[in-house]
Amino acid sequence: MLIYVLKRIGLGIVIVVLAVSLLFLMIHMVPGDPARILLGPRATPEMIAHLSLKMGLDQPLFVQILKFFGNLLRGDLGMDVITNRPVAEIVFGQLPYTLWLIFTAITGAMIIGIPLGCYSALHRNSILDRITGIISVACITAPAFVVALYSLLIFAVWLRWFPAIGAGERGQFWDQVAHLVMPAFAIGLAWVGYLARLVRSSMLEVLGDNHIRTARAYGLPESTVVYRYALKLAVLPTVTVIGVGMGFLLSAALFTEIVFARPGIGKLIFDSITTRNYPVVMGSVLVSTIMFVISTTLSDLINAWLDPRIRAAL
């Protein structure tokens, strides 16, 4: 098991290295002077010269990559072109907003989706099951930003139940919560449907398994059979799905932040592109990618830990 953990983490690190290198190469593959491109049209000759030196543009590519990684490990993601602040500071300043949004969205989706899926499996073809089925499909079909637009339209513009813009006053807990509701809803809606379907089909499969028949043959109470035996197994795929879904969550968060004018990494990237603040764009994408890789690695590891069959096979 330990070997698997190390191997999996090792793989994660390799992927991060490769992804970062890819980003690095992308900057260099574009025709033109990388420093000029990175700094954009606002660049003054002094800034270009300074950055070129820092990136070591006169040196072979290999050395440049090493310098890049060296800077990365020291937490240096470059400097913001406009305000001249360290990119790392800007990115990590905005990151918590996105994390809160994602966390709220997925937790909400799990709290509603998993029991819904469980109920649907136990009461197949009941009214609630059918309604859930239809709503699940409906939820999945609209892209996150469309859901965001409609929630904005219905809840903020027409009904005026929730604020339309921003994250709320700092330090004001309930205000921030109020500002979280709709963005989290926009992201989480599709996931409710998706998780409900996943748990439903997973439960149905597990409930048909022979060992569930054995448990029933021993007269174990139905609640034990369903909740302790079946549900635990049925929920396993959810873990993997959420881990891999971090990518989708980040993308959905990006759109949601833009639609609701909410601070976060997504909005940061978008604003930075519009203002041609490329170091911030690159830095944000880099951080997001690393987060994604961490998430998938963690989910693989948790999955292996939860299922003793996988544990034994390692």
Nearer CB in complex with another protein: 169/209: 209
Residue of 186, 194, 181 whose CA lies nearest to 113? 194
Q: What number of other Cβ atoms are within 10 A of residue 203's Cβ?
A: 23
Residue of 66, 78, 127, 99 whose CA lies nearest to 253? 99
Nearer CB in complex with another protein: 171/219: 219
Burial-class residue 106 by CB neighbours within 10 Å (0-12, 13-18, 19+).
Answer: buried
**Least CB distance from residue 288 to another protein, whole Å?**
5
**Least CB distance from residue 218 to another protein, whole Å?**
3
**Least CB distance from residue 54 to another protein, whole Å?**
19
| The two structure tokens encoding residue 246 | 């971090």
> Which residues lie below 8 Å from residue 125, measured CB to CB, with a gap of 6+?
none
Nearer CB in complex with another protein: 23/112: 23
DSSP state of 221: -
* Cα-Cα-Cα-Cα dihedral sign, residues 147, 148, 153, 155: positive
**Least CB distance from residue 275 to another protein, whole Å?**
11
Nearer CB in complex with another protein: 92/176: 92
Nearer CB in complex with another protein: 112/135: 135
**Least CB distance from residue 28 to another protein, whole Å?**
10
Nearer CB in complex with another protein: 188/279: 279
Q: What number of other Cβ atoms are within 10 A of residue 24's Cβ?
A: 20
**Least CB distance from residue 89 to another protein, whole Å?**
20
276: left (phi over 0), alpha (psi -120 to 50) or beta: left
